[in-house]
């Protein structure tokens, strides 16, 4: 799967801590292998809105304070809501939109032992889904909650680059078609690597990320993800 996303983040003080709201939309290209052979599709993903709230360690800062701020350990809470507005064909077995709502609460703990040179990032969250009542025609697709746990390590390279490595563990999320279990609950690890480079002239940052299925239960299908993120200030 290849994903190109376009997030927009608005940050603001929440009390005396960092808060923010992000809007994300994207375009996906999906390649898969099923019982009928190889399947390909592309289209827009479901847009999402994410609410961010810092718990400790990330005070609200003005733009002119960022350069003097010393990175410190912090913890935050996030809630992402995906709306069923992406590309969807009820007769296709593969889609870039899900045709259902999804809710993803997440808590992260980020630890830096050397004032921001390196980071240890820990994440724990869950995904909850409503039903898709237009799956392969008029069938109902439902899904159990999915638990996600991740750990990553990243290190700065010079002043404008960093590289990272880590792994995620997923558990649950089994699907049902017309209340019949598909026996595809997740219970495996996904290793990943990332690289990021910032440019000061145009004030943007390019981040590349690759993720691959590591272990799966009962020979479940594997998948890979290549992500390209381009971020920078609007003004």
Taking only the tens place, the pLDDT of each residue in 102-144 is 999 999 999 999 988 999 999 999 999 999 999 999 999 999 9
| Count of Cβ atoms closer than 10 Å to residue 77 Cβ | 14
How far is 209 from 196, CA to CA, in rounded Å?
9
135: tokens are 């799956």
**What local confidence, expressed as pLDDT, does residue 61 receive?**
82
pLDDT for residue 78:
97
Low-confidence ranges of the chain (pLDDT < 70): 1-6, 32-37, 198-203, 212-225, 227, 229-235
Count up the domains in the chain and report the number. Answer: 1
CB neighbourhood size of 41 (10 A): 16
How far apart CA 57 and CA 197 sit, in angstroms, is 25
What is the structure's pLDDT at 7? 76
CATH number of the CATH domain containing 103:
2.40.160
Q: How far is 41 from 162, CA to CA, in rounded Å?
A: 33
pLDDT of residue 219: 43
DSSP element (H, E) containing 17: strand 17-34
Whole-number Å distance between alpha carbons of 133 and 201 = 49
Count of CA atoms in the C-beta half-sphere (13 A) of 126 = 6
> What is the residue range of 26's domain?
2-231
- How many Å apart are CA 66 and CA 219, to the nearest integer? 48
Q: How far apart are the first and last CA of the chain?
A: 32
């Amino acid at each position: 799967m290849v994903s190109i996303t376009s997030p927009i983040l608005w940050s603001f003080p929440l009390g005396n801590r960092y808060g923010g709201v992000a809007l994300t939309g994207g375009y996906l290209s999906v390649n898969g292998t099923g019982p009928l052979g190889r399947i390909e599709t592309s289209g827009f993903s479901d847009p999402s809105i994410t609410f961010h709230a810092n718990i400790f360690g990330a005070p609200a800062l003005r733009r002119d304070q960022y350069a003097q701020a010393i990175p410190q350990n912090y913890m935050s809470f996030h809630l992402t809501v995906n709306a069923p507005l992406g590309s969807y064909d009820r007769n296709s077995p593969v889609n870039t939109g899900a045709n259902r709502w999804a809710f993803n609460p997440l808590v992260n703990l980020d630890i830096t032992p050397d004032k921001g040179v390196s980071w240890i990032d820990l994440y724990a969250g869950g995904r909850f889904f409503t039903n898709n009542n237009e799956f392969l025609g008029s069938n109902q697709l439902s899904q159990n909650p999915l638990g996600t746990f991740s750990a990553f390590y990243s290190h700065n390279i010079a002043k404008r680059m960093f590289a990272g490595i880590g792994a995620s563990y997923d558990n649950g999320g089994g699907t049902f078609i017309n209340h019949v279990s598909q026996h595809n609950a997740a219970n495996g690890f996904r290793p990943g690597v990332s690289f990021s480079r910032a440019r000061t002239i145009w004030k943007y940052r390019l981040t590349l990320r690759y993720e691959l299925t590591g272990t799966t239960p009962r020979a479940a299908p594997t998948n890979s993800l290549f992500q390209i993120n381009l971020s920078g200030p609007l003004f």
